Amino acid sequence: MSINTRLSSSGHEATISISGRFDFSQHQDFRSAFDKAPAAIKQFVVDLRATEYVDSSALGMLLVLRDKVGDQRDNVKIINANASVRKILEIANFDKLFSVV
């Protein structure tokens, strides 16, 4: 389980990559990933390529991130979710709140 953050060359986008289970045990690391991001960051990309599981606390953490950057759907993109994680996001209607690609 790990969370890594990468800033774009423009300095306006940060990518947070999550591997393993995205659950309450990742709360502090995930929160730190976006709280420590520079103020110039206007968009976050959450890369779930290596994420095998998402629970309700992870969904809550995504909502906290969305609140931080504003309620615009495209301010937080969720990318590379596997079929089971994507299904959880769709059941929770997160595809309506976030750009899920």
Q: What is the tens place of the pLDDT at every residue in 68-83?
A: 888 778 899 999 999 9
80 exposed, middle or buried (CB, 10 Å; 0-12, 13-18, 19+)?
A: middle
Residue pair 22/52 in contact by the 8 Å Cβ criterion: no
Does residue 19 carry a pLDDT above 70? yes
Number of domains in the chain: 1
User: Given a cut of 80, is residue 1 above it in pLDDT?
Assistant: no
**Rounded mean pLDDT, 47-56:** 96
Q: Which domain holds residue 33?
A: 2-100
pTM of the model: 0.94
Query: What CATH number is attached to the domain comprising 85?
Result: 3.30.750.24
Phi/psi at 99 (5° precision): -85, 110
